[in-house]
Structure 1
Amino acid sequence: MRHVLRQLRRLYFFAPLLAVALVCGLMLADPPLVRTLRHALWDQYQRLQPRVYQDTAVRVVDIDEASLAKIGQWPWPRYRIAQLVERLHSLEAAAVGFDVVFAEPDRTTPAAVSRDWPLPAAVREQIAALPDNDDLLARQLKSANVVLGFSLEREGPGTVPPFMPLVAPVAMGGAPQPFVHRFGSVVAPLPVLSSSAAAAGALTFVPDDDGVVRRVPLVLRVGDQLVPSLVTELLRIGQGADNYLVRMGPSSNPGIAELRIGQVVVPTTRTGEAWVHYATERQQRLIPAWKLLAGEVTPADVQGRLVLVGSSAQGLMDLRFSPLGGVIPGVEAHAQILEQALTDSYLYRPGWAVAVEAITLVVAGLGIGLLALYAGVLWSALATVAALGATIWGGWYAFSAQHLLLDSIVPSIGIFTAFLLGSMVHHFASERRQRWVRQAFSRYVSPNLVKHIVDNPDSLELGGQRLTCSFVFTDLAGFTSLMEKIDPGEAVALLNRYLDEMIHIAFAHEGTLDRIVGDAVAIMFSAPVHQPDHQKRAYDCALAMQRYATQYALDLQAKGIPFGHTRIGVHCGEVIVGNFGGSTIFDYRALGDPVNTAARLESVNKHLGTRVCLSEDVVAGVPGVLARRVGRLTLKGKTRALLVWQPLNDGLAHDEAEAAALPAYEHAYDLMAAGNPDALDAFEHLAHERPDDPLVQLHLRRLRRGESGEVIVMTDK
């Protein structure tokens, strides 16, 4: 058996290695889920730091809702499109690109409209002689630098219509066709329009698995023929270039590296797409189509610019999901990549990115995994958090400062997996060593005791030590009579819920359960683990208990169950704390006069009319305590008077009123403590304003009996 265990220990090292190997395999496989997580992170980067908009030579003529309302529903007659082209040409636009496919003849041309009308032959001949709308647009296209759009379909014979005005790229460094997205057919503009336009470009996007457009293709493929996108042709025509160059990457990083279009160099993915770094929506780039047709656009808005014509109207359904959230018109994605090309502000996914990500995964993953194997959980967890933070920060810094897209998701998954697997193996290895400690857990009930025993096994010995601790004693008023009024089983269930939450509150404040006696609970602070702020913890715990107990009783009373209120006493002092009992069972508790005093302070509430009593020793350790003096009480069986305080935020309905009346109460109390006869008038006045204040009534009765001073001798427990 020992030989087997030794062999297992030798295999522990392979746990983080296995985790790193699994995640490396995940990185190479790159399943859809991993891509979605990676893209979601990059989308968040873009939302945190969108591209800074610069007013470039790019404008969008927007066929928006207002234009449809003013001019008419889509599709507009082709003569209207011709007017739009004529306006842009007269304003000296460098090039015009249509994010629209004119694939069908204009149904509003006179001959087409009158075809089914019952007209005389002479009239029909006159109408047929009127200009055709498509011919009007074709003539206008010949006089301007216009790039028409076409769409691509996956299925088809893989041929391009011969009338398409396409320019074949110049390839450098190899053939780009194997890497480019392949399509089967073209939905082309009418031949009469295609042959009249300066160029044509594809409008097709290739969204990611989640439908978000993060990249815009610059070159695509129909069969074996490369076709440019609308963005590529607009850049080419706008610069007056004859063609464009596709440069391939090295053999170590195969695929397309960049496109050179005139003087513009655009880095791409290996498939010929450009990453879009989106800027927020800007009205500067938009020209409503109705304003252009109405002659309300100045030459400065168009002259020398690349103009895209598209639609943001929802009814035309040219909407895309954006990394910034929500949807955008498809034409805006084209405009964004054009702006990046003209300002040289691209996002890059460099060829060495995968190597850097894999090195990060291996080095950090193995380091964290080994640390989790041989170090404590806290240190390995802190190191894991630091490694994850550094990895995520590195990805963000690369994006923010260098516009690089690095994947920090997969390395983070690997680091966390190595930590998780290493921690599991570490836990398995230490389980056998700590089994004897776990057998002792049944003797203790407080979580901080369990942790203390695990960290200090030698504490499982009889004996005690002197410690200064704080104590919270609680008791439930009237529970015995409640047992007589309702079913005992129901009463026990109510008590168990009450005690469960009271103990939960104590544990939340890191108190130690000293004992439970019936409906009473005793909580200890600063043992077994030293707590320098034990008075503050006891004070906060007592108030939290009182607030819960008050609300619990009110809820039950509203249901007709006469559940009593809770009384609490809080005191601190030096006691003997340790394990008492015998070899069969331990009883971890505190012994000493402060324990008895805390119990007496709880009991004295019923004579004072209060719910919570704090000793002066506790109040001294709670900075800024909100409380008022009850008096110097000589408790039953005691000889020394103890200054007792009542907190003003103990959860009762009159908390705010008591806090507001505190200055008046303190003034009256000072008069009483000094033996000043004016104290009676002061408390008379307070009693008139606050007839339900138990402490005011207590001191008023004393003063009326002729007593003076702040010392109160308690004759009962």
Structure 2
Amino acid sequence: MGLLWKHWPRIAVTLIPLVFALVHAIGLVPIGFLQRLDDIIYDARIRATLSNKADERIVIVDIDEKSLAEVGRWPWSRNRVAEMVQDLFDRQQVALVGFDIVFAEADESSGLKRLRQLAQGELKDQAGFGERVNQMQASLDYDALFAKAIEKKPVVLGYYFTSDRDGRTNGVLPAPVMTKDALRGRPITFIGYNGYGSNIEQIARAAPLAGFFNPIIEEDGVVRSIPLVAEYKGAYYESLSLAMFRALLGLPKVEPGFPRDDSRLVGRDYQSLENIRLNVAADKVLGIPVDHRVATLVPFRGPGGPQAGSFRYVSASDLVAHRLQPGTLKDRIVLVGTTAPGLQDLRVTPVGGTYPGVETHANVIAGFLDGKILFKPDYAIGYDVTVVLLAGLVLAIGLPLLTATRAVLLSVVVIGLVVGLNFYLYLGKGWVLPLATTLVMCLTAFALNMSYGYFVESRSKRELANLFGTYVPPELVDEMVKDPEAYSMKATNKELTVMFCDMRGFTKMSETMEPTQLQELLNAVFNRLTDIIRGNRGTIDKYMGDCVMAFWGAPVETAEHAHLAVKTAMEMANAVRKINEEHRAKGMPEIGIGIGLNTGTMCVGDMGSDIRRAYTVIGDSVNLGSRLEGLSKAYGVDIVVSETTRKIAPQFAWQELDRVRVKGKEQAVAIFWPLAPADRLDKAHSDELKTWAALLKAYRAQDWDQCDLLLLNLQRMNAKKYLYELYSERVASMRLLPFDPEWDGATNFETK
């Protein structure tokens, strides 16, 4: 919770697209762009999953341009259409014929009407003329010929509904498949119309089964679905596809498929159907899933048209001319329609811009037969809201807590899971579910999160890096920028370890070397020592001539600051020894080093004037560190460490140098020299330290004879150590003084 509260501004920014996505998903403020994008995704998914396999069960009889050229312009005389139907049933023995065309007007092309007028008018006195007209009526009444050809045959006529002709009607509608009573008073949302254009009564009476062939044209002009049942004046009529499918099943009764009555999530005011139910048998009900408009998506098999190969196309002129071998279309389902551009039945679909309207019905019928129906379930809104909410919360909480690389990975994983689930339900169950809202939300959340991180958080991180980059090692800056709010230049008191390092011999060198040579030498030494300090997480305070000041424990808190400081000092001393080896090999003068370390409470922060400021430490503990550096030369060692530092750095073997009282301090402090890591001290040095501890005890007890004996042993152990020579001189001097019971064994230093 602490991390979440810390990153709440970034989380809030990431939640912005989630809020907009939810508002769109639940329909409060629909965003047209997202709906359009969902359509584009659906269309792309349709094209990517086309089976492109021919369906041999369904044949399209095409009133194509070839037919119009051979037979004549449409509409043809009904005797020609009757001949074609007779050929389909008698010679080809098809199972079912459906018409994606409407016979809305009487056919007077035979001239029978004019002959009757003549027989009753101008030529009524002409002997035998009226009788001859009556004899010719059977062959010249083309509507009757066509009605006879389809009567008692498995034929489904087509018609269309309208909503843009002021409610005008034409022809005879078939019987509805449902009435309002079947809906049990539920407010189901059907696509409704106020007009229609249907077949003339003579033809409709001969073939009473008919279905409307209206598609649903979306706002972008694309046909993706067709209504299965539509409403007209309180009655409900079936589509051509559903009527033909029912004809194949023996015309089972159509009933609305409501959600389960025991469902706690669905009330009686629910405005959608779950499916259209066909009572195939007493114990068998077939459910066709529908969306909230009681429509079904067209399961396109291929790009459409005679050349696509999804369905077999037969030119109507070949049937009229009897060019097709008998039985070629035996037991096939036939749809009569047109691909001629002039007859205006070409549609824009996801798989093509000039898709034959008749083939959309063929696809739907094939889907019904295969039991593979694509549909957008009525709970698609709930699915969309759930996925958007889960994905949005994961990103809102996860992205602010992760690095840029991991944030990208999280976003990819979330988007991959969302897309994978969506495609799994599409391919496995035929569910067409929204995807655009979640995708746009995820991408926008990622973009906003990264932008906020770069322009807001990264700015503070860059500022922090600029502030501390010259003092602090890069790896510490990297740690600091993860939580820039936790660091500032504001002064505060902390326990830190400070180091003063002075290079000796440069003053003498400056008298014999050119300034540029001295500068080059000093820079080279500083570079090596600075690398060691930064490599051990130290903060460079300042360079003062031939002295460098550093401290540990700020701005990044480090529990082992004393240990790191001591380790750094020993590595610096070794580095100087290597530098001197190089100098000797080149004939260059050697340099010396003196380091003072002290641990204590110090004030650390940005200090200075308006003109120049620096991140530094001040306080008595800092001053003591500086004094200890000055003592290193007096004791002939390169490192002098205070007792406070020694106590919290037990990883090293120490040799106590003395107790000293430096300028400005009344209280004596013990000072130490680090010899080596404690686990690397050999027996000889261990024995030497024991002897040295005994010497210091005798020295502070003013037992000078015992001191002489112990110093003799120490000088035998290490004759070159200046420290033993120093104490020999002190003991010889102290012998001249009387015993002082007030003496605390400390050495006073009055110089800085």
User: TM-score w.r.t. structure 1 length?
Assistant: 0.57
Shift of 1:204: 0.9
Per-residue CA distance 1:445-500 (angstroms, 9 max, x = gap):
xxxxxx99986999xx997689xxxxxxxxxxxxxxxxxxxxxxxxxxxxxxxxxx
- Aligned pair in 2 of structure 1 residues 143, 9: CA closer, same or farther (>3 Å)? closer
Q: CA deviation at 1:349?
A: 2.5
List aligned pairs for 1:235-246, cutoff 5 A.
Answer: 235-241=245-251, 243-246=253-256
The corresponding residue for 1:63 is 63
The secondary structure found in structure 2 opposite 1:304 is: coil
Q: How much does 1:166 deviate?
A: 1.7
1:183 pairs with 2:205: no
Alpha-carbon separation, structure 2, partners of 1:284 and 1:339: 10
User: Could you list the per-position Cα deviations for residues 654-699 of structure 1 after superposition, in whole angstroms to 9, with x for gaps in the alignment?
Assistant: xxxxxxxxxxxxxxxxxxxxxxxxxxxxxxxxxxxxxxxxxxxxxx
Q: 1:267 aligns with which of 271, 282, 289?
A: 289
- Tell me by how many angstroms 1:419 deviates: 2.0
Partners in 2 of 1:115 and 1:177 — Cα distance?
53
> Residue type of the partner of 1:145?
P
Say whether the 8 Å CA contact 1:265–1:341 is kept in structure 2: no
1:92 aligned onto 2:102: no
8 Å Cα contact 2:156/2:209 also seen in 1: yes
Could you tell me whether the CA contact under 8 Å between 2:168 and 2:195 is conserved in 1? yes
Aligned to 1:432: 460
Question: 1:8 offset after TM fit, Å?
Answer: 9.6
1:277 CA drift (Å): 1.5
Task: State percent identity of aligned pairs.
Answer: 23
Q: Deviations over 1:216-268 (max 9, x none)?
A: 21111112111111112112223332532221234266412222345454221
Pairing partner for 1:169 from 161, 173, 178: 178
- For residues 548-582 of structure 1, the C-alpha deviation after alignment (integer angstroms, 9 at most, x for no partner) is xxxxxxxxxxxxxxxxxxxxxxxxxxxxxxxxxxx
Q: Are 1:132 and 2:130 matched, yes or no?
A: no
> For 2:69 and 2:258, how far apart are their aligned partners in 1?
48
Q: 1:45 to 1:359 in 2, by over 3 A?
A: same
- 2:256 partner amino acid: V
- Please point out which of 326, 338, 341 is paired with 2:368: 341
**Amino acid in structure 1 at the alignment position of 2:21:** V
What is the alpha-carbon distance in structure 2 between the residues aligned to residue 383 and residue 399 of structure 1? 24
Code of the aligned partner of 2:150: L
Deviates more, 1:108-117 or 1:260-269: 108-117
> 1: distance between equivalents of 2:437 and 2:142?
56
Which residue in the other structure is 1:44 paired with? 44
2:231 matched residue in structure 1 = 221
The CA distance in 1 between the partners of 2:163 and 2:210, in whole Å, is: 19
What is the match of residue 144 of structure 1?
153
1:401 to 423, 428, 438: 428
Alignment partner of 2:352: what SS?
coil
Cα–Cα, structure 1 residues 285 and 262, in superposed 2: closer, same or farther, change >3 Å? farther
Q: Deviations over 1:145-192 (max 9, x none)?
A: 222211111146769779433243377664577311010011121122
Aligned residue in 2 for 1:392: 419
1:276 aligned partner, one-letter code: V
CA–CA separation in structure 1 for the residues paired with 2:68 and 2:357: 18
For the residues of structure 1 that align with 2:315 and 2:187, how far apart are their CA atoms? 39
2:449 is aligned to 422
> Which segment drifts farther, 254-263 or 111-120?
111-120
Query: Which amino acid is 1:310 matched to?
Result: G
SS at match of 2:161: strand
Work out whether residues 366 and 418 of structure 1, in 8 Å CA contact, stay in contact via their aligned partners in 2: no
SS of the equivalent of 2:157 reads strand
Q: Deviations over 1:388-427 (max 9, x none)?
A: 2332233223323333222222111111222233333333
* Residues in 2 aligned to 1:440 and 1:7: alpha-carbon distance in whole angstroms: 26
In 2: Cα distance, 1:89 partner to 1:108 partner: 25
Report the alpha carbon displacement of residue 24 of structure 1 after superposing the two structures with TM.
0.8
Contact conserved, 2:60 with 2:311, CA < 8 A, in 1? no
> CA offset at residue 319 of structure 1?
0.5
Mark the CA change 1:245 to 1:88 in structure 2 (over 3 Å): closer, same or farther: farther
Give the superposition deviation at 1:19.
2.5
Q: Is the 8 A contact 1:56 1:343 kept in 2?
A: no
Contact 1:56 1:342 in 2 (8 A): no
Alpha-carbon shift at residue 372 of structure 1 (Å): 2.9
Gaps of 5+ in 1: 1-5, 444-450, 467-582, 585-717
- Superposed displacement of residue 105, structure 1: 2.1
Alignment partners' CA distance in 1, 2:10 and 2:293: 43
* C-alpha distance 165-362 of structure 1, shift in aligned 2 (>3 A): closer
Query: Kindly tell me: are residues 357 and 165 of structure 1, through their superposed partners in 2, closer, same or farther at Cα, counting changes over 3 Å?
Result: closer
Query: CA shift at 1:339, angstroms?
Result: 0.6
Cα distance in structure 1, aligned partners of 2:213 and 2:528: 82
Any residues of structure 2 matched to 1:499-514 within 5 Å, and which? none
Q: Distance in 2 between matches of 1:305 and 1:65?
A: 23
> Which amino acid letter does the alignment assign opposite residue 268 of structure 1?
V
Classify the secondary structure of the residue corresponding to 1:50. coil
User: What pairs with 1:654-673 in structure 2 (closer than 5 Å)?
Assistant: none
Structure 1 residue 330, shift from structure 2 partner: 0.5
**Residue 332 (1) aligns with residue 326 (2):** no
Q: Secondary structure at the match of 1:57?
A: strand
Name which of structure 1's ranges 326-335 and 397-406 shifts more when overlaid on structure 2: 397-406
The amino acid across from 2:294 in the alignment is G
Is the Cα contact below 8 Å between 1:231 and 1:334 reproduced in 2? yes
CA distance in 2, matches of 1:106, 1:465: 107
Alpha-carbon offset, residue 326 of structure 1: 2.6
**TM-score, normalised by the number of residues in structure 2:** 0.54
Q: CA RMSD in A?
A: 3.8
Give distance in 1, aligned partners of 2:217 and 2:70: 33
CA distance in 1, matches of 2:21, 2:73: 54
Segments of 5+ residues of structure 2 without an aligned counterpart are: 261-265, 281-285, 303-307, 482-522, 530-610, 613-752
Paired position in structure 2 for 1:32: 32
**Using the alignment, how far apart are the partners of 1:457 and 1:16 within structure 2?**
24
Equivalent residue of 1:18, what SS?
helix
For the structure 1 residues 364 and 434, does the alpha-carbon distance in structure 2 shift closer, same or farther, using more than 3 Å as the test? same
Change (3 A) 1:425 1:100: same
Q: In the TM superposition, what are the counterparts of 1:569-608 in structure 2 within 5 Å? A: none
Counting only pairs closer than 5 Å after superposition, residues 402-551 of structure 1 correspond to structure 2 as: 402-427=429-454, 428-435=456-463, 437=465
1:230 to 240, 252, 257: 240
Deviates more, 1:331-340 or 1:292-301: 292-301
Matches of 1:81 and 1:430, distance apart in 2 = 77
Q: 1:283 to 1:349 in 2, by over 3 A?
A: closer
Amino acid at match of 2:300: Y
* Residue 83 of structure 1, CA deviation: 1.0
The separation in 2 between residues aligned to 1:439 and 1:325, in whole angstroms, is 62
**C-alpha distance in 1 between matches for 2:377 and 2:176:** 28
User: 2:97 touches 2:334 (CA, 8 Å); kept in 1?
Assistant: yes
User: Which amino acid is 1:28 matched to?
Assistant: I
1: CA distance between counterparts of 2:109 and 2:15?
70
**What is the SS of the residue equivalent to 1:341?**
helix
Query: How many aligned positions are there?
Result: 453
In structure 2, which of residues 321, 335, 344 is the aligned counterpart of residue 294 of structure 1?
A: 321
Q: Contact between 1:255 and 1:271, CA under 8 Å: does it hold in 2?
A: yes
1:279 aligned onto 2:301:
yes
Residue of structure 1 aligned with 2:17, choices 16, 19, 22:
19
SS at match of 1:182: strand
- 2:331 alignment counterpart: 304
Partner of 1:490: none
| Aligned residue in 2 for 1:81 | 81
Q: Distance in 2 between matches of 1:94 and 1:399?
A: 32
SS of the residue aligned with 1:256? coil
Instruction: Confirm whether residue 209 of structure 1 aligns to residue 231 of structure 2.
Output: no
